[in-house]
Amino acid sequence: MADDVLMTDEGVDRRVRIVTRWLGNVSRAMVRMFDFEDQAVSMRSMADNLRGIDYSRDQVSISPTPDAIPNAIIEADEMGELYESLADSVSGRVAKAQAALAAMDNQAGARALSLYYLAFDVNGKRKYGTWEKVCVEMDYSYDGMMKLVRRAKLELYDYMPHTERPKVESAI
């Protein structure tokens, strides 16, 4: 950090809060990404499984809305595309977070943040839902982990996307 000398405790706390909020948002977005992917698959399979009228049978009744089946197929396919694009958007946010963590000098802190905020299993469940689990994985005491994480968040502020930082209002 270039302005370590000028950083007050309040400024440090502010940066840590901003990074914590950002990583929390990315983590929640990852949970939603798994939901979006599941919904996209569900909508696409629904569109694939919709069938038209069976004209091979002798008795055919006229549908009051002849476009209902094609419209349902189109709507399901469009919803699948929407959910896919939302999942892609989340993937971009996650990639930015991973790139910021990879750029850090404090790789132990980056690993701790990555484990806590970005480690998910294939079902979309967090692997390490508590800092205690991260402590066990990395063989740290809880107090040591909290110090490591605070330093890592402070460093990560410099690498996080500027678009994720709150706008600073002018003093005058």
pLDDT tens, residue order, the chain (172 aa): 444 556 788 889 999 999 999 999 999 888 887 777 777 777 767 666 655 555 565 555 555 566 666 777 777 777 777 777 777 888 888 899 999 999 999 999 999 999 999 998 887 788 998 999 999 999 999 999 999 999 999 999 999 998 888 887 566 6
Confidence (pLDDT) at 82: 77
Distances in Å between the Cα of 41 and the Cα atoms of 79, 80, 88, 172 are: 10, 7, 14, 52
CA–CA separation, 172 and 170 (whole Å):
6
168, 145, 147, 162: which is closest to 100 by C-alpha?
162
Q: Give every CB contact of residue 83 below 8 A, 6+ residues apart in sequence.
A: 36, 37, 39, 40, 43
CA-CA-CA-CA torsion for 151, 153, 159, 165, nearest 10 degrees? -140
Confidence (pLDDT) at 61: 56
CA–CA separation, 81 and 61 (whole Å):
33
- Asked if 100 contacts 161 with a C-beta cutoff of 8 angstroms, the reply is yes
Helix 68-103 vs helix 9-49: crossing angle, to nearest 10: 150
Contacts of range 49-55, beta carbons closer than 8 Å, 24 or more positions apart: 50/76
Confidence (pLDDT) at 67: 64
Confidence (pLDDT) at 64: 57
CA–CA separation, 159 and 162 (whole Å):
8
pTM score, whole prediction: 0.73
CA–CA separation, 109 and 107 (whole Å):
5
Total residue length of the chain: 172
